[in-house]
Structure 1
C-alpha cells in the first residue's frame, strides 16, 4: 500500500507541475530551460490585472505558455487569476541575464515560449535597437 501511495503522489505531482502545449511542448514550474525569441513592448494594464510601466522588470509570456500554465484552465474567463501571474523567470541572452516577473500575456508571440519584455528588462539583455533577439534561454525561478 505505501508503494501505491507513492505512485499516486508522483502522478499528481506530474499533473500539477506540467501541462502540455500544442506541438508536444510542455510548460513546467520546475527549472526546465526553454529557448525562445525575445522582444519588448510598452506595458499598461496587463492580463494579470496590474498596470505596469516600461521601467519595471516585467515580462509577457507567449499566449501558449500563459494559457496552458498549470491551473490556468480553472479561470478561463478571468486571466487575472492565472497562477502564472507573479511567477519569476530568469532569461539569459549571451552572457547577460535578467530576472523578470510574469504580469502579462503576449498574444502576438509566434513561439510557444517567446518572451515580450518591458524596455527595462530587454535592455538588460540587448540594446533596444536590436528589436528581436533569438536564442533567449529562460527558466522558472522557483
Structure 2
C-alpha cells in the first residue's frame, strides 16, 4: 500500500494537534517559589505570571517525553482559581515537591489570589486553557 507524502503529513499533523488540545482540570494547594531557569527551558523571574505543575501531572501529560523542554504542557496557559479570584499563568516549570493537582506560582501570580503571608492556600482549582 502506498501513501503520498501529503497524506502522511496530514495524519502526523492531526496526531500532534491532538496533544495541544488536551484539556485538564485539577485541584489542590498553591504555594509560591523563586523561579529561575524552569524545566521548560526558559529563564523566569518573580514578576512573571508562571506556574510550576506537579511532577506526576506534567510527566504524565499526553506527548510528554524524556526532554522536559519539549513537554507539550510547556507554554500552555492555565487559569488558577481560589475562591472568587483567578489568575491566568503560563506553564513554565515542574514542582517536584507538589502533590498531584497542586501548583507552585511565582510571587506575582500568587499575590493575585492571596497575600504572600498566607504561604499556602488550599482548595485551589486550575484548568488548562
TM (norm. structure 2) is 0.82
Q: What's the CA shift for 1:87?
A: 0.6
Q: Which residue in 2 is equivalent to 1:29?
A: 22
1:119 aligns with 2:98: no
Tell me which structure has the larger Cα radius of gyration. 2
Q: Which runs of 5+ in 1 are unaligned?
A: 1-11, 18-27
Alpha-carbon shift at residue 29 of structure 1 (Å): 2.3
1:21-43 residue CA offsets vs partner (Å, 9 max, x unmatched):
xxxxxxx922x432110000000
The runs of at least 4 aligned residues of structure 1 exceeding 4 Å deviation read none
User: RMSD between aligned alpha carbons?
Assistant: 1.7
| Aligned pair partner of 2:51 in 59, 68, 73 | 59
Counting only pairs closer than 5 Å after superposition, residues 122-137 of structure 1 correspond to structure 2 as 122-137=110-125
1:73-92 correspondence to structure 2 within 5 Å: 73=65, 76=66, 78-92=67-81
Match of 2:94 in 1: 105
Aligned length: 113
> 5+ unaligned residues in a row in structure 2: which ranges?
1-13
Residue of structure 1 equivalent to 2:33: 41
